[in-house]
Amino acid sequence: IVFLEGILAAKQPTVIVLNVGGVGYEVRIPLSSYDRLPALQAPCRVLTYDHVREDDHQLFGFLTEAERRMFILLLGVSGIGPKLAISLLSGLAAREITAAIATGDTKRLSSVSGIGRKTAERIVVDLRDKIGAGEALEAATGGRELTATELRARDAILALIALGYKRAEAEQ
């Protein structure tokens, strides 16, 4: 289940119910998505991740592809399940998590409830190579408009990375 599109039947800060053709789907969402939800009984489209275990079946929903992608990356880290991943996305925006991973800012990651120092370090080590160089650079700038000098520097760094240089070497 990649997405659900229907009528928003109920919403709470961490759970929504989406009426899709007469079937109500309970979808767990991060707090960041709650603020951007439409009014009750309005049309709504939610990107989803279908988490199935032998004793449980849960849907997790996101309003942006960046949130869903980060959620899936976090699930790949040892010791992080869907509830902890959704908690991290509730505490930090996907862009902030990407920037923290790119810069190795474990303190920022461990500021979220349930994420300790060791878990934050594991997230940085496991995901540093999985986030793209472009994503890391964009997250580091906070999404603001880059100056001409910053654009040239970014393009040069991306070109060096494409040629096989490590990110740290390219940035130097």
> Which pLDDT value is given to residue 102?
84
Give the dihedral sign, CA 4/51/89/103. Answer: negative
**Residue 152: count of CB within 10 angstroms of its CB:** 11
> Which pLDDT value is given to residue 153?
75
Whether the per-residue pLDDT at 87 is higher than 60: the answer is yes
pLDDT above 90 coverage of the chain, percent? 47
Of residues 160 and 104, more confidence is placed in: 104
> Which pLDDT value is given to residue 140?
56
Q: Are strands 3-11 and 43-53 parallel, antiparallel or unpaired?
A: antiparallel
> Which pLDDT value is given to residue 151?
67
